[in-house]
Structure 1
Amino acid sequence: MNPNVARLVEEIPPPADVRPKDWRQVESRLGTALPADYKQLVDLYGGGVFDDTIWLLEPDCANEHYDLLTKNKNRPEELEYLWATGEPKPAELHEEGSKLVAWAVTENGEYLFWLARSGQHPDDWTIMINEGRGPEWESHPVSCSEFLRSILLTGGVESDIFFDMPFEEHDFRASADFL
């Protein structure tokens, strides 16, 4: 198990009734491979919210607002529209073949993406965060599990968007609890 995932599991117990996904099918439908640590997180936790703040998107979530495939279906076109109407496009996205893949969201409208660069293995993707209702972006050269571990537990990643984290108490609530 990825050490960052293992640390999260130690500190924030996952639900007991999560079923692993058919990742070959999910990746085929999404049109891209996904990082191994993300797949471990979803296979252990399913979709849901960490510390009432960060919603881990899950493939085929019954709640479309937290479904990995739904969130990635129209988001590229929505971002292109914003950039075409004057919102600044992050420099990293001017690289040929780069794209964003959403993996988490917040209630405030922030999106947590992977920056997928052409020819780069998914386990090496960078985390990019777009603030909710604004043009600011942050880039963090870590995996999603390292980002979550750092933001939720240690404060090891500095973020202007998640400036008030980590919290004293931690929990995870499954998306299924909100249906």
Structure 2
Amino acid sequence: MTALHALTALCPPPAVPPPAPDWSQVEDAWGTSLPQDYKELVTAYGPGRFCGFITLYQPHSPSAWIDLTGPLPARLRGQIEEVRQAARHPWPLPHSPENLFAMGVTDNGDYLFWVTQPAETPDQWTVAVNEALRAPWFSYTGSLTEFLVGVLGGTTRVPMFPRDLLRHGPTFTPSTPRSTSLETTTRMAPVSTRTIREWADANGFDLPERGRIPYDVVEAWRHENPS
């Protein structure tokens, strides 16, 4: 059984997914080939969120926040070292920023990256996850689809993901035309941890100066700031 078959058995895709991108055109614009599993994954599912939490970047998305072929992935790669060096005690990086390419994001602002090594063999690329370009980092030795099978199947635990991620089981919610519009996705874009920390401090939450913001605090912020 392929990883995609395992994923679709675990988490059924839409009965009628949107038309698949023209992959040859996408890869020509990108300047390199994409992992075959990613192309099959996007073709099967289209845009949407896994467990209401994980969003994969899509080619030519109407939202700049999740556009695989837009400027955001390269911008994030350039910011990784800037954020690290700005910290009082810079943390070690498990991968060189030049080998990281953002291809997903969570509702908590965790970024999913391909580790693009070897560059000429994308089907061997693995996955790295981190929190808002900061520490900690989580590395997964396998493809993106295998990563999703592990996370949604409960066999792969990503420390920065909420513990109750699977409380409603593995699900995929397709994006509606409205939720993929530039206006709506801009409102739904991941918020910086600094914004949440400032709100938490002002509202009596006791947080450490650094480190991951607890999930319940993030949820409280979202409840008070729904738009």
Q: What TM bracket, shorter-length normalisation?
A: 0.7 to 0.9
Q: 66-75 or 101-110, which moves further after superposition?
A: 66-75
- Return the match for 1:92 from 88, 91, 95: 95
Code of the residue aligned with 2:149 in structure 1: it is R
Provide Cα deviations, 1:5-34, integer angstroms capped at 9, x if missing partner: 112222322221321111122122223321
Task: Classify the secondary structure of the residue corresponding to 2:38.
Answer: helix
Q: Distance in 1 between matches of 2:100 and 2:133?
A: 18
8 Å Cα contact 1:62-1:176 kept in structure 2: no
- When residues 155 and 170 of structure 1 are mapped into structure 2, their CA distance, relative to the original with a 3 A threshold, is closer
Provide Cα deviations, 1:135-160, integer angstroms capped at 9, x if missing partner: 211111011001001101x2221321
8 Å Cα contact 1:66-1:175 kept in structure 2: no
- Partner of 1:60 in structure 2? 60
- When residues 175 and 109 of structure 1 are mapped into structure 2, their CA distance, relative to the original with a 3 A threshold, is same
Which consecutive aligned stretches of 4+ in structure 1 deviate over 3 angstroms post-superposition? Answer: 165-168
Provide Cα deviations, 1:80-126, integer angstroms capped at 9, x if missing partner: 322342443514318xxx51111110111110001112455111111
TM-score of the superposed pair, with normalisation by structure 1: 0.85
- Partner of 1:83 in structure 2? 84
- Partner of 1:21 in structure 2? 21
8 Å Cα contact 2:37-2:144 kept in structure 1: yes
- Partner of 1:44 in structure 2? 44
- When residues 89 and 19 of structure 1 are mapped into structure 2, their CA distance, relative to the original with a 3 A threshold, is farther
Q: Distance in 2 between matches of 1:67 and 1:59?
A: 6
- When residues 74 and 167 of structure 1 are mapped into structure 2, their CA distance, relative to the original with a 3 A threshold, is same
- Partner of 2:6 in structure 1? 7
Q: Does 1:69 align with 2:72?
A: no
- When residues 140 and 120 of structure 1 are mapped into structure 2, their CA distance, relative to the original with a 3 A threshold, is farther
Using CA pairs under 8 Å that are at least 6 residues apart, name the structure with larger relative contact order, 1 or 2: 1
- Partner of 2:192 in structure 1? none
- Partner of 2:105 in structure 1? 105
Code of the residue aligned with 1:37 in structure 2: it is D
8 Å Cα contact 1:61-1:175 kept in structure 2: no
Provide Cα deviations, 1:45-67, integer angstroms capped at 9, x if missing partner: 11210111100111111222222
- When residues 83 and 28 of structure 1 are mapped into structure 2, their CA distance, relative to the original with a 3 A threshold, is farther
Deviation at 1:78, TM superposition (A): 1.7
- Partner of 1:33 in structure 2? 33
- When residues 42 and 112 of structure 1 are mapped into structure 2, their CA distance, relative to the original with a 3 A threshold, is same
Code of the residue aligned with 1:93 in structure 2: it is S
- When residues 62 and 13 of structure 1 are mapped into structure 2, their CA distance, relative to the original with a 3 A threshold, is same
Identity of aligned residues (%): 32
TM-score of the superposed pair, with normalisation by structure 2: 0.69
